A and B are shown apart, each in its own frame.
Chain A
Amino acid sequence: MNTTTTIEAGLVHQQFDDIGQQREAAKLGMWIFLATEVLFFGGLFLSYTVYRFVYGHAFVEASRKLDVVIGGTNTAVLLISSLLMAFAVRASKLDQRRMLTGLLLGTAFLGCVFMLLKGVEYHKDYVDHLVPRMGFKWEGADPGNAELFYWIYFAMTGLHAIHVTVGIGILLVLALLAWRNTFSNGNHNTIEIAGLYWHFVDIVWCFLFPLLYLVGHR
């Protein structure tokens, strides 16, 4: 064991030899978890793909009713939040406590903005009678297939929203811990791993947006 580990000794869990091993294991664990998540969303992406293929026309029609402006804004919001998250990871590595806390809060704030906009959009969908089983009305052809599109839309965005909510919770806890100076002296691994998760949530949205909103947009 070399000298740097004397500072870090308290941080190393008993099962690891040194902080490096612990960091790598944790990071690898997160990557494996994200692989799991990809497959978890995968089932819904598969359902989407199958019915997009079978009921292509109805899906295009149904997609036109979604609000591209809100969807687009939300995409921008999440992308910026990911940027802030990346800066947060950097700040944690540079031991900038105030900066780190601020960036984490900023990321969480943008997550909240996303959720707020999503809520506004869901409400608008409700008013427009686009929510299946809750007064769903469809003027065009094949209301059944349009309803299927909206089921998939709500399932996918809903599952994504759950992930965003969990992410916001994590960010807020981390911000509190950061303010209490938990992540100093090279203990930045947690921030990095939370960052991986947040970027993943962002990337999922980057797939959802074109598939759901832009399919019917001309």
Chain B
Amino acid sequence: MDQFRLFPPEASTSAQQIDWIYFALVALTVLICVIVFVPIIFFSIKYRRGSKADRSNPRVESVFIESGWTIVPLLIFIGLFSWGAVVYFHVENPPRDALQVQVIGKQWMWRLQHAEGKQEINELHVPVDRPVELTMTSQDVIHSFFVPAFRLHQDVVPGKYTHEWFRATRPGEYHIFCSQYCGTQHSAMIGRVVVMEPLDYERWLNTGRPMESIALAGERLFRERGCSGCHSVNSKFHAPLLEGTWGKPVPLESGEMVTVDERYVRDSILLPGKEISKGYQNIMPSFAGTLSEEEIMQLIAYIKSIGNQTSPSESAPNASR
């Protein structure tokens, strides 16, 4: 027991916003308790059996009073809902310039990798005052990445990517918990976030042997696994080129439009026949079971990294990469 606390440390920007709503709710709870408990105690004493209180003409109904205690809570609730929803919207939408960290949950550990390539297990080093976005998935069951000091909480679901972000405000060490029950050693799936001064962070990032960044690893995979054999201008096979597609809508064979994002790229690797780009054949084999979650994330990072390049088909041939 280090010290007596009623609240966890406030170590991120959203922690403050969430705590304000929490305090408002605590105040409302106290108020309602006073409104309910004081009359109960007062009536219990005044109208106890045998007391001489006036009991003539008791009221048993009043539409006016009933409407009052229906409408007033309703208005308060709408206010609370809106406040909570605005902050939630903020918490759920990462800023564009955030540092990227990829998180993979598995029974019973967290594997984290910074965009620069540095890997960590059950630990996350981040600089203070920079937004950090976590892109998370699970290798087995549902986990949940929970940092109480940041008021941050998001389930980590197998088969899809979830995101959360924070901007740490105070250097220090904080708990990471897995809060979605995930099996025998659920309570041992814990770790720590280390928030560092920016210079310390840079130093930390550059210690150890040099790593290849996630996107570079993805590019290497793209070649090694033969993706580039088809998805390139010189290919014999007719496959869509991936440069410049990230974040843009593409038409599908079925006539629908779909935005190229993590989900679409992931599904295209694992379930190639699900959403076929317009004008192409369903000839790609599925890579389900042959690529690990890390490798899929690396490929996505690579495709994201070439998202700003112009598509080679539009410019001169052989101009790409």
Which positions in A face B, CB cutoff 8 Å?
55-58, 141-142, 144-145
Determine the distance from Cα of A8 to Cα of B319 in the docked complex, in whole angstroms: 95
Name the residue of chain A whose CB is nearest to the CB of B256.
Answer: A56
Name the residue of chain B whose CB is nearest to the CB of A61.
Answer: B273
Determine the distance from Cα of A63 to Cα of B251 in the docked complex, in whole angstroms: 25
Determine the distance from Cα of A26 to Cα of B273 in the docked complex, in whole angstroms: 53
**Residues on the B chain within 8 Å of A56, using CB:** 254
Select A145's contact among B254, B271, B282, beta carbons within 8 Å. B271
The distance from the CB of B264 to the nearest CB of chain A, in whole angstroms, is 13
**Residues on the A chain within 8 Å of B254, using CB:** 56-57
Is the C-beta of B248 less than 8 angstroms from some C-beta in chain A? Answer: no
The distance from the CB of A56 to the nearest CB of chain B, in whole angstroms, is 7
The distance from the CB of B271 to the nearest CB of chain A, in whole angstroms, is 6
**Residues on the B chain within 8 Å of A141, using CB:** 273, 282
The distance from the CB of B160 to the nearest CB of chain A, in whole angstroms, is 12
Q: Which 9 A-B pairs have the closest CB atoms?
A: A141-B273, A142-B273, A141-B282, A57-B254, A142-B271, A142-B274, A55-B274, A144-B271, A145-B274
The distance from the CB of A29 to the nearest CB of chain B, in whole angstroms, is 35
15 A-B pairs with CB atoms under 8 Å apart are A55-B274, A56-B254, A57-B254, A57-B273, A57-B274, A58-B273, A58-B274, A141-B273, A141-B282, A142-B271, A142-B273, A142-B274, A144-B271, A145-B271, A145-B274
**Residues on the A chain within 8 Å of B274, using CB:** 55, 57-58, 142, 145
Name the residue of chain B whose CB is nearest to the CB of A141.
Answer: B273
State how many residues of chain B have any CB contact under 8 Å with chain A. Answer: 5
**Residues on the B chain within 8 Å of A145, using CB:** 271, 274
The distance from the CB of B186 to the nearest CB of chain A, in whole angstroms, is 28
**Residues on the A chain within 8 Å of B282, using CB:** 141
Proximity bits, B252-266, A CB within 8 Å = 1, else 0: 001000000000000
**Residues on the A chain within 8 Å of B271, using CB:** 142, 144-145
Determine the distance from Cα of A142 to Cα of B271 in the docked complex, in whole angstroms: 7
The distance from the CB of B122 to the nearest CB of chain A, in whole angstroms, is 34
Determine the distance from Cα of A73 to Cα of B74 in the docked complex, in whole angstroms: 56
Name the residue of chain A whose CB is nearest to the CB of B288.
Answer: A144
Name the residue of chain A whose CB is nearest to the CB of B267.
Answer: A54
Chain A binding surface, main DSSP class: helix
4 more A-B contacts (CB under 8 A) besides A55-B274, A58-B273, A145-B271?
A: A56-B254, A58-B274, A141-B273, A142-B271
Determine the distance from Cα of A58 to Cα of B282 in the docked complex, in whole angstroms: 13
Determine the distance from Cα of A94 to Cα of B8 in the docked complex, in whole angstroms: 77
Determine the distance from Cα of A92 to Cα of B254 in the docked complex, in whole angstroms: 55
Determine the distance from Cα of A145 to Cα of B254 in the docked complex, in whole angstroms: 16
The distance from the CB of B275 to the nearest CB of chain A, in whole angstroms, is 8
Determine the distance from Cα of A143 to Cα of B255 in the docked complex, in whole angstroms: 22
Chain B CB within 10 Å — which of A55, A57, A142, A144 has the most? A57
Determine the distance from Cα of A86 to Cα of B185 in the docked complex, in whole angstroms: 60
The distance from the CB of B309 to the nearest CB of chain A, in whole angstroms, is 30
Determine the distance from Cα of A140 to Cα of B99 in the docked complex, in whole angstroms: 42
Determine the distance from Cα of A88 to Cα of B50 in the docked complex, in whole angstroms: 68
Determine the distance from Cα of A58 to Cα of B267 in the docked complex, in whole angstroms: 14
The distance from the CB of B219 to the nearest CB of chain A, in whole angstroms, is 28
Name the residue of chain B whose CB is nearest to the CB of A146.
Answer: B273
Determine the distance from Cα of A15 to Cα of B282 in the docked complex, in whole angstroms: 68
Determine the distance from Cα of A57 to Cα of B258 in the docked complex, in whole angstroms: 15
Proximity bits, B267-293, A CB within 8 Å = 1, else 0: 000010110000000100000000000
Name the residue of chain B whose CB is nearest to the CB of A56.
Answer: B254
Determine the distance from Cα of A58 to Cα of B273 in the docked complex, in whole angstroms: 9
**Residues on the B chain within 8 Å of A142, using CB:** 271, 273-274
> Which of B34-71 touch A at CB < 8 Å?
none
Determine the distance from Cα of A24 to Cα of B274 in the docked complex, in whole angstroms: 52
The distance from the CB of A94 to the nearest CB of chain B, in whole angstroms, is 52
Name the residue of chain B whose CB is nearest to the CB of A144.
Answer: B271
Name the residue of chain A whose CB is nearest to the CB of B282.
Answer: A141
**Residues on the B chain within 8 Å of A58, using CB:** 273-274
Determine the distance from Cα of A106 to Cα of B170 in the docked complex, in whole angstroms: 80
Determine the distance from Cα of A62 to Cα of B254 in the docked complex, in whole angstroms: 16
Name the residue of chain B whose CB is nearest to the CB of A142.
Answer: B273
The distance from the CB of B159 to the nearest CB of chain A, in whole angstroms, is 12
The distance from the CB of A125 to the nearest CB of chain B, in whole angstroms, is 22
The distance from the CB of B290 to the nearest CB of chain A, in whole angstroms, is 15
Determine the distance from Cα of A56 to Cα of B273 in the docked complex, in whole angstroms: 12
The distance from the CB of B272 to the nearest CB of chain A, in whole angstroms, is 8
**Residues on the A chain within 8 Å of B273, using CB:** 57-58, 141-142
